[in-house]
Amino acid sequence: MITATANAVKHLRGLLEDHSTVDGQGLRLMVKKGGCAGMEYVMKLDSPVEGDCVFEQEGVNILVDADSLTYLNGVNIDYEDSLSDSGFKVNNPNAARSCGCGSSFDPGGL
């Protein structure tokens, strides 16, 4: 299961409205090899495809492919807005360690 904070839902809803998306589109969250810790998060607005897990929360969708779900099951997405950085942040309980900027992680024994 993937969850999002109220602040993340609010910002995702605004993003979807600003980009005139079609029904069902949402935030695609996936992982790929790379980053300074081994695996990096990738996020983009996208439509669901066959095999995706779709997590709906307060009218917005979070899309995750089956391969990425192994690394992302249980994550919580937040939206932070600070002087030094703004954007969606992934709080991943599966990460053995994360890089300093939070954009990549070490999956440990997964």
Q: Do 105 and 99 meet the contact criterion of CB atoms below 8 Å apart?
A: yes
- Tell me the pLDDT tens digit for each residue of 38-89: 778 899 999 999 999 999 999 999 999 999 998 899 999 999 988 777 889 9
- For the entire predicted model, the pTM comes to 0.83
Q: pLDDT for 14-45, tens place per residue?
A: 999 888 767 889 999 999 876 665 778 899 99
Q: Which domains, from first to last, does the chain contain? A: 3-102 (2.60.300.12)
For the cut 60, the answer to whether the pLDDT of residue 102 exceeds it is no
Handedness of CA 101, 104, 108, 110 (dihedral sign): positive
